[in-house]
Structure 1
């Protein structure tokens, strides 16, 4: 099974002296049975992380809002990812998903 994870990166916030979600970038990762689709995934700008054994793509929030809906639908359809295989983690990532088509 292939899963897609969408998460706002965590950054250290100097003001609050704590780890906070990045409001500028969203990371999209793909893991699982992706080998048959590796060329397609590469063509979408994803990079292979051999240590984590997953594909990842860091998107600026502006790109995400403008392009993610169509790109993520195409990836999910091509790789056969069902809605149960899409994980959205973090407040900023959820907000980015909610507002990406506005």
Structure 2
């Protein structure tokens, strides 16, 4: 059985493979399932989908400013890691409590 640190490393490798354009990646939680078969590793990260990230030559209108504010957000993903061998079993959008 792998430990929490190895589960985090496996999940982070999966994160790097599947999530593009993320910044400020933070480990939020790691829990092991009730039957000890898998770890659920949750990361938060920032996504920038603002117009300014797409083009630096746009006119800064009020609508542009609103789109800039709304385009930045924090997202969460939970990665499922086998506690037996550390293999990545999948990931899902974090739903919260």
Radius of gyration: which is bigger? 2
Task: Tell me the TM-score range normalised by the shorter chain.
Answer: under 0.3
Normalised by the length of structure 2, the TM-score is 0.27
Structure having greater relative contact order (Cα 8 Å, sep ≥ 6)? 1
- Structure with the higher helix share, 1 or 2: 1
Normalised by the length of structure 1, the TM-score is 0.26
